[in-house]
Structure formats: structure tokens, C-alpha cells
Amino acid sequence: MNPSQQNELPEPQETPHLELISDGEASEGILYVGIDMGTSRTSVAASNGVRATVASVVGYPRDIVGQKLFGRTVLFGEEAIEKRLSLDFHRPLEKGVLKGSDGVEGNDGDVRAARDLINEIIRRARPRKDELIYAVIGAPAEASKRSKTAILDIARESCDSVMICSEPFSVAYGQEMLEDVLVIDIGAGTVDLCRMHGTMPEDADQITLETAGDYVDEKFAAAITESHPKAQFSKEMLKAIKERYASVAEEMEPCNAELPVDGKPTELDLTRELRSACRSIVPPIVKGLRKLIATFDPEFQDRLKDRVLLAGGGSQIKGLDTAIESEMQKQLGSGKVMRIEEPMYGGATGALKIAHDMPEEYWERLK
Amino acid sequence: MPSLPFASLSATDQGLFTPEELRSLMDKELSRSRRYGYEVVMLSIGVDRISSLGDLYGHESKDHVIEEITRLLVASTRSCDFLGCLLGDRILALFPHTGEPGAKAVANRLVSAARELEFSAGGPQVSVTVTVGIATPNSAKEHELEILVEGAIRACQEGQDAGGDCWQLAEHSTNGHDVAAPGIEDSSEMAKLMDEMLRTKMRVIFESMGEEFPDLEGRDSEVFALALEKMAQGRRSQDEKLEVLERRIARLSHNLGLTEEQLQRAMEMKGVDPGIASIYREVQGLTDGGSDKKLKKDMMSAIYEANIELQKQAENDKDD
């Protein structure tokens, strides 16, 4: 189609087979949406069967030329990463909270980017225009009220009714594990630990650690710099390498990555550096688990140690479940870690389940 | 029903039946007519001013006159054509297989023949006239003997009140009682009754609106008739408007469907995603069953309460 025809309706070529948009029965449906808004990735699961995930990055063409080039005014996810040099690039979340809130530095561009990101993830859930959207969004366990209200404010623009809940709690709820369970939700910005014991978790039941995916990236970068001082790399490069090879196992797949060294692409063996970086998050996690176990009813501590749920993008690090178990054995005498089946969507599907189970009157009052 | 029966449906004309037997025969005849759908008619024949005759010429004179009238009745019909009896000073005759025209013919003959009778009272000549009341059943209720007899007697009385020497057809009403016969004056009892009912209804309406019932200056009937006409006109107008609106709605619905089809086609051509419908048409909530339903319910409440707090905090922050 020529650019000049882009804004005109093309004439039908033949007698079309017409379909109704609305048959009367489809109107006034309820689309439940569960959103996991992470530092690195934002995922959505909806009651129309759609699941989608996008990197939590937003880019705006810098000028009209860029808009023409890209064909739109905003880009998201991998596309934005790929073209970031031409874009006003934003990562609107840091350590699991919106930039500009909760003591995290940010600007108006970050708020706008967060708004557009939420709009985009809901758009990717493919809602019908005649349906109400009821959304539950997972927030880090120890996110402040200010941070949560900031998310709610921007989410209300896209949703008819929206609620926030604890991210690790939504993981446990989605797995129907509501009693005597420890949840480890490893994201990019935070690792959330949550103790489930048959009631709504309180502050004392939740711990947020900052030794998460981004921490691994930093460790990885430092290790590479130490081993290969002249190697050149970006955060995105390391992230890609990590996501491809990440492992804590002694016998892991060799991590041979090509990085420019003085401008020349050079294959480097980064196995040791990557393994070391991945292993660096295990001690803080077990330390946090120890705290939650130690402050639990002693009669049920062993039961708690045997029901540890591993979720989040970071749970995909190979061998991490075994490594945590091993460390728990050393420090706590026992431990059994279970990895959830779909780590990318654990939080979103849990939030969806919460949305489904929420009574109607609660949705109405929060509209 | 007392008095002497004088005719029957028996072919041999054996004569007398007891009143109970005659009543039973009439009942059965009426039932047969209703079941098989043939016509019947009841005649009530009264000698005009018969009580005066009795007063002037004695009770025997009344009986004599009635006997002659009875003879005329028999002479003007076939004896097998009716069941008849006396009821007080009136002759009642039930004619099966006879409709209104036949009944009128009999009545005309009888009235005419009665005029020709002359009686002598030991001096002056006395002429008599008769009035015939005709009642035909027009509903299942009117097939009941008592109602038919009452109708015929009432018609006869009305004819006699109007001067006698005539026949009078009883009118039908929905409740089985006779209404005013055609040709009766506006001052008839039924017309008065209708006017009174309407006046009462109008009074109730005015009082319900807190208004005093106006003085219609004696023109009540005209006003009521006009009001009824207006109401009927209004109703017709509303019906017409309703029909127009229904046609418009049908047209709009049709156009809406076409518009939606066109819109979806345009959206598909532009690559606009119409979306995927949710599997839920209504809000769900916790389903029944499940051992941890109470626990989940408490958790939902806690999430809701926490979000209410967040909402309040947001409002406070805005105020600040």
C-alpha cells in the first residue's frame, strides 16, 4: 500500500463475507487480566486465553524523521532495544518500582513510559472494545504505598478497575499453595521471598532483596572486566549472554561468547565468570530464607523448608534449585526446592487467578 | 313454576305435566339446543291490564281470557312445536328449533289475533290486547332456563309499560341480564345506571388528583361521551405512534448491524485487532466448593482493604 493510501479505506475487491462485530451477546463481557510488571520484563495473562510478555523498555523516536522511519511514535520491548540508539530510551522500572517514586530517581519521561508500557501490555492481551477490563498487578513484596499508588494511577487509565497485590503472593496463589510454603521470586531488579502460612502474608512474612538479575549482570560485568580488561560490552550484550548460558552447575555448558576486544570481535570463554556471577545470589537468598524460617512456628519449620517454590525469570538459571537446596542443607539442615513450570508467567497467571476470584462488589467499589 | 300446563312436545298430546316435569323438559330442551347448536326462543305472553280486568269483571274473567289467548297460541302454532306453561298471569312458551324471525312471526300473529277477540261482560263489549316478550339465548349463561324466562318476562313487561299490544325483543348483556332494548329512550334505567357508574369513576379520578369534581351543568352524558371519544382517539394515536417507533427501531437495528459489519471489514483491512472475547460474560468471584474457600475469601478481602487504603492515600496526596 502506498503511503498516500494509508489513511484511506481501500475498496473491497469482491463481495465481502461480512461478520458482525457484536452479536449482542459479546457485549458487557469481563476480561480479567493478571500483570506481572517487572524491572526486566512485563508479562500478562488474560481470561481470553492470551498470554504475552515484553521487555520493560520503551522508546520514543527523537524526531519526526524517526517517527516516519519507524512508522509510529512509540516502540516497546525487543524492537525498542534494537533501535535504542535512535530513540529516547526508557526503562521505567527499577528495582521493581516506578522510577520517580519510592526514592528511585526518575523523570516525566519515565512516568510517560510506564503509562505507555501498561497500555501496551494490556493491548497485547487483545481485549475487545466492548468488554470491561479488571486487572490485578503484582508489585514487589516490600514496595512502598507510594510506589503502588503510582502504578495504580497509571493503570487506571487503561483498566475499568485495578488492584495491586504482592508479587510472590500471587505466584503462590496461582500454584494453589497457600499454606506452609516459601516463595522465591527472582526478577531482574529484586528477589522477593514470601512465607505463606494460611493467611494473607504480612510485612514480617516478606523480604525483598536487591541481589537479583541486574545484580548478576553487574557481577558478570565486573568479572569479565577483571579477566578481560579490554573486552567491550554493553548491558544488553551481557544480558543476552546470561539468558543463553546462565548456570550455577559445576559442569555447565561452556559459555563462549564473542565480544569486541579493541574493536575486533573475539571469542572469549566466560564460563567461570558467568557461573560465579550466578552463584552470587544464592547466599543472600538462603540468608533470607533462614530469617523467615527461624521466625516461624518451630513445629512447622521443617515443613516450610521442604516446600520452597522457585519462580521468576531468574529461576531459569540452570541448577539454581539444586544450589539453593545444597546451601539450605548446609545452613538449615534440610531443604526442598520446586521450580514452577512456567517461570515467565507464574506471577501473571497468579494475578489472573486472584482477579477471577475477587468478588464483584470489590471491583465495583474500586472503579 | 305453578299453574296448568297445556301443551307438550308429545306427539299424542297427552296433556298434563307436573310443573316439575315441565321444568325438567324445558331444561333438557335448552341443554339439547346448546349441545347441538340449534335455536330456541322463549315467549312470555301477557294480557295487557289483566289485573284491571280481574278487578272489574272478576277472577274467573281473567282465567277465561287467558284460556282464549292460549287457544290462539295453539292455533297459531303446531301443538308439537313448543313447551308451555302458565306463570302467574303470563303464558310462557319455549319454542325449539325456532329463531328470532320465527318468534316474531308467532308474536305478530298472536298480537293481531288477540285484537280480534271480543268478550262480553253481561253488557259492554270488552276487547283485550296482548304483549309478547321474546328472549333468545346468545351465550352459554343465557341457555339457563331461569335467565331465559326472566329475559322474556322483562321484555314483556317493558312492552306493556310502553303501552302494550306489541311484541318486545329482549336485549343481551355480557352478564346474562337483559339490557335496554333498542328504541328505548335515553332515560332508560340501564342508561341511567351506566351514567352513574361513569360519574362515580370520574369522581374517583378527580379526587385522586386532589381536584373537586366539576359541575357539568346537566350535560353529563355529553361530556362523558366526549371524554370516552377523546380517550379512544388518544389510544389510537398512541398505537399509531408505537407502530411508527417499532418500525424505526427495526430499521435502526438493521442499519446498526450493517454498520458493524462494515466497521469490522475496515478494521481487518487496516490490520486493527478486534480483540479476543473473554470466556466470561459476568464477574466470577470464588466458586462454591474447595476446602480453602474461606481462606481465599479472607485473602480477597485483605487485598481489597489494602487497595482501598492505597486509594485513600492517593486522594490525600492529591489534596496535599
User: Residue A23 and residue A20: Cα distance in Å, rounded?
Assistant: 6
Q: Does A145 touch chain B (CB under 8 A)?
A: yes
The domain limits of chain A are 30-173+346-365, 213-279
User: Residue A259 and residue A266: Cα distance in Å, rounded?
Assistant: 5
pLDDT at B141: 62
> Which CATH number does A213-279 carry?
3.30.420.40
Listed range (A192-206, A339-353, B89-103, B210-224) with the worst mean pLDDT: B210-224
pLDDT at A294: 94
Asked whether the beta carbons of residue B296 and residue A164 sit closer than 8 angstroms, the reply is no
All cell numbers assigned to B56? 272489574
Top-confidence residue, B82 or A229: A229
Q: Strand, coil or helix: what is A98?
A: strand
Top-confidence residue, A22 or B287: B287
Closest residue in A to B299 (Cα) is A200
Which CATH superfamily, name and number, covers A30-173+346-365? Answer: ATPase, nucleotide binding domain (3.30.420.40)
pLDDT at B172: 61
Listed range (A5-19, B20-34, B151-165) with the worst mean pLDDT: A5-19
Q: What is the DSSP pairing of strand B90-96 with strand A337-339? A: unpaired
pLDDT at A133: 95
Q: Which residue has the cell 533470607?
A: A288
Top-confidence residue, B107 or B25: B107
- Tell me which residue of A69, A19, A87 sits closest to B260, measured CA to CA: A19
Give chain B positions within 8 Å (CB) of A358. 285, 300, 303-304
Give chain A positions within 8 Å (CB) of B320. none
pLDDT at B58: 76
Instruction: Report, as an integer, the average pLDDT of B139-149.
Output: 75
> To probe the interface with A, which of B265, B288, B299, B312 has the most A CB atoms within 10 Å?
B299
Top-confidence residue, B8 or A345: A345
Q: Strand, coil or helix: what is A257?
A: strand
Out of B261, B277, B306, closest to residue A26 by CB: B277
pLDDT at A17: 35
Give chain A positions within 8 Å (CB) of B260. 20-22
**Highest mean pLDDT pick, A165-169, B138-142, B225-229, B262-266:** A165-169
Segment A234-237 long-range contacts (CB within 8 Å, at least 24 positions apart): A236/A81
pLDDT above 70 for B140: no
User: Residue A178 and residue A170: Cα distance in Å, rounded?
Assistant: 10
pLDDT at A143: 78
Q: Spell out the per-residue pLDDT of chain A, length 367, in tens.
A: 343 344 433 444 444 333 333 333 444 689 999 999 888 899 999 999 999 999 999 999 998 888 888 888 999 999 999 998 889 999 998 877 788 766 666 777 888 899 999 999 999 999 998 899 999 999 877 778 888 888 898 899 889 999 999 999 999 999 999 999 999 999 998 899 999 988 888 889 999 899 999 999 999 999 999 999 999 999 889 999 999 999 999 998 999 999 999 889 999 999 999 999 999 999 999 999 999 999 999 999 999 999 999 999 999 999 999 999 999 999 999 999 999 988 889 999 999 999 999 999 999 988 8
Distance of CA A17 to CAs A11, A12, A65, B28, B261, Å? Answer: 14, 11, 39, 72, 9
The amino acid that residue B114 corresponds to is: A
Instruction: Report, as an integer, the average pLDDT of B241-268.
Output: 88
Residues of A (48-87) whose Cβ lies below 8 Å from B = 48-50
Top-confidence residue, B299 or B127: B299
pLDDT at B230: 80
pLDDT at A194: 93
Judge whether A30-173+346-365 and A213-279 match in fold: yes
pLDDT above 70 for B244: yes
How much is the mean pLDDT over chain B? 78
pLDDT at B183: 42
pLDDT above 70 for B15: no
pLDDT at B66: 87
Alpha helices in chain A (DSSP H): 64-70, 77-82, 108-124, 145-155, 167-174, 213-227, 235-245, 271-279, 282-294, 301-305, 320-332, 346-357, 360-365
> To probe the interface with A, which of B303, B311, B315, B317 has the most A CB atoms within 10 Å?
B303
User: Residue B6 and residue B15: Cα distance in Å, rounded?
Assistant: 6
Contact A342, A215 (CB under 8 A): no
Instruction: Report, as an integer, the average pLDDT of B50-65.
Output: 79
Residues sharing a CB contact under 8 Å with residue B170, sequence separation 6 or more, in sequence order:
B133, B134, B135, B136, B151, B152, B154, B155, B178, B181
pLDDT at A4: 39
- Tell me which residue of A195, A189, A174, A135 sits closest to A313, measured CA to CA: A189
* pLDDT tier, B188 (very low <50, low <70, confident <90, very high otherwise): low
The amino acid that residue B202 corresponds to is: M
* pLDDT tier, B190 (very low <50, low <70, confident <90, very high otherwise): low
* pLDDT tier, B320 (very low <50, low <70, confident <90, very high otherwise): low
Q: Does A129 touch chain B (CB under 8 A)?
A: yes
- Tell me which residue of A143, A140, A94 sits closest to A114, measured CA to CA: A94
* pLDDT tier, B191 (very low <50, low <70, confident <90, very high otherwise): low
Share of chain B above pLDDT 70, in %: 80
pLDDT above 70 for B256: yes
* C-alpha B296: how far from chain center: 66
Q: Does A171 touch chain B (CB under 8 A)?
A: no
* pLDDT tier, B173 (very low <50, low <70, confident <90, very high otherwise): very low
Domains of chain B and any CATH numbers: 19-182 (3.30.70.270)
Closest residue in B to A24 (Cα) is B257
Q: Strand, coil or helix: what is A343?
A: coil
